[in-house]
């Protein structure tokens, strides 16, 4: 894969049946020290870290372009404890444990939060650029989310992808992993069978395989099995987030945990092929229902927010913010919001009365709600950000359509990113990072933890394999 092809990277996946082969071929078609399945933030971080140790590495991507769900993300990176902030990794870990409902591994959480600052600086050394001050974003309580200078997740893929190519990593597209070779008695992973363009070839992984295949948000069958109450919702994952790695891992003896937990977030209608969000900054938006009433503290965790939206009459709710907030969004978000406005999906109004008319909500109720918005937020002054929302026109609003954003269940790993069996024993030669991991976030994932956890554990997998 050359640099020109790399810089165009965006993924598209498809489901394939997975089975695990017991017997290895007498002659392997290809051999590498490390094989990485998936080329999002987790996969590329693993590949680069392994290559930095002098290992030969191949990345096989099911899509025709690299990037995975990292490219669909908002791009924020959580890192507590950087200079100039009072937030510390221990506070980051505490918040994760509290929201995880006891379903995340405390040791894994500790490793993750303590490694976030160092991984942030590692990314900077690769050319990633971030804004200096952290944000508090949707689904988190603290100012610990750093926004990249490049829109959304594109910067991560460019930086990690280019560095991987320079380190000699082989990246091959349109490749689906359909089988894993292993030793039945010991479960030691030997290699993988790859299918491309209707042909199959075997790949030996002398040191092991890293599963970085993402979640299963695009797999309707798996959603009906594990989270039937949410299976009718649309998803904003890449089309190929179909749980291929989950099936391969389970057949290899991996322990799958927390599969019933699925995170939902506000989004736009499926009629538009891009993600629109007016709710990224909780202190700078207000959510109202069809009666024009505020119904939730917008600073709540994602689970609380999702449940509150679903509970509204008719399931109808809107996000309202101001032009200053839209103008401060990254350039790609602004582009999508303006496109959505011209498509009639997002509205912009000169005053509250016009906004109420465009949303078809009671005018006086909406005016009362917006006038009181600040009073319901402790610690806000008359000059605070939510005061800006309700008093400075023009206003922007979006009807909320909940989407499946991330599946939280997957393989259980240890602090070295090794995949564990049902007895808690590492499966020799099998590692995992990213959304396929099921024992890090627990029942709820903090906003900003997606990209950071993918890169942190991708890096750990590459360093330990």
**302 an active-site residue?**
yes
CA atoms within 13 A on the CB side of 219: 26
Backbone angles phi, psi at 172, to 5 degrees: -125, 130
CA–CA distance, 319 with 436 (Å, rounded to integer): 31
- Beta strands (DSSP E) in 234-343 are 234-235, 256-257, 262-267, 286-289, 317-322
Cite the DSSP H helix spans in 301-429. Answer: 302-310, 323-327, 331-342, 352-359, 363-372, 385-391
Strands 30-37 and 346-349 come out as: unpaired
Nearest Cα residue to 213 out of 419, 35, 436, 12: 436
How many Cβ atoms from other residues are within 10 Å of residue 251's Cβ? 15
Of 187, 277, 302, 412, catalytic: 302
- Residue 376 token pair: 């319901």
H or E stretch at 454: helix 449-464
Sign of CA dihedral 105, 107, 111, 113: positive
CA–CA distance, 383 with 193 (Å, rounded to integer): 60
The catalytic residues are 302
């Amino acid at each position: 894969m050359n640099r020109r092809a790399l810089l165009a990277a965006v993924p598209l996946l498809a489901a394939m049946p997975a089975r695990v082969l017991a017997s290895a071929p007498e002659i392997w078609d290809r051999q590498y020290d490390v094989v990485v399945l998936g080329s999002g933030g987790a996969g590329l971080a693993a590949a680069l870290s392994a290559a930095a140790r002098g290992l030969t590495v191949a990345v096989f991507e099911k899509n025709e372009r690299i990037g995975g769900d990292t490219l669909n993300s908002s791009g924020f990176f959580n890192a507590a404890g950087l200079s100039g902030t009072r937030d510390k990794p221990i506070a980051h870990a505490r918040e994760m444990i509290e929201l995880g409902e006891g379903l995340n591994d405390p040791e894994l959480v500790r490793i993750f939060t303590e490694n976030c600052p160092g991984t942030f600086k590692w990314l900077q050394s690769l050319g990633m650029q971030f804004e200096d001050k952290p944000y508090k974003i949707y689904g988190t309580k603290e100012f610990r989310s750093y926004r990249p200078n490049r829109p959304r997740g594109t910067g991560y893929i460019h930086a990690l992808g280019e560095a991987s190519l320079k380190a000699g990593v082989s990246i091959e597209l349109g490749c689906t992993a359909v089988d894993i070779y292993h030793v039945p008695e010991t479960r030691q992973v030997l290699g993988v069978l790859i299918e491309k363009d209707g042909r199959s070839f075997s790949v030996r992984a002398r040191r092991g395989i890293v599963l970085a295949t993402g979640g299963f948000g695009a797999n309707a069958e798996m959603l009906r099995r594990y989270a039937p109450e949410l299976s009718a919702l649309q998803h904003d994952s890449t089309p190929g987030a179909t749980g291929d790695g989950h099936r391969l891992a389970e057949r290899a003896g991996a322990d799958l945990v927390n599969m019933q937990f699925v995170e939902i977030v506000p989004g736009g209608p499926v009629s538009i092929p891009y993600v629109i969000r007016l709710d990224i900054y909780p202190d700078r938006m207000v959510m109202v229902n069809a009666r024009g009433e505020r119904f939730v503290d917008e600073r709540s965790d994602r689970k609380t927010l999702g449940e509150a939206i679903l509970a509204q009459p008719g399931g109808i709710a809107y996000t309202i913010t101001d032009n200053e907030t839209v103008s401060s969004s990254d350039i790609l978000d602004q582009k999508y919001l303006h496109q959505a406005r011209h498509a009639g999906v997002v509205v912009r109004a000169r005053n509250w009365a016009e906004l109420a008319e465009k949303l078809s909500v009671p005018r006086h109720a909406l005016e009362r709600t917006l006038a009181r918005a600040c009073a319901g937020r402790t610690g806000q002054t008359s000059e605070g950000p939510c005061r800006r929302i309700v008093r400075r026109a023009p206003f922007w609003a979006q009807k909320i359509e909940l989407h499946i954003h991330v599946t939280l269940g997957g393989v259980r790993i240890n602090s070295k990113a090794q995949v564990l069996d049902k007895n808690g024993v590492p499966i020799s030669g099998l590692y995992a990072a990213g959304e396929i991991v099921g024992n890090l976030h627990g029942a709820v994932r903090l906003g900003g933890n997606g990209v950071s956890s993918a890169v942190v554990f991708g890096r750990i997998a590459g360093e330990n394999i």
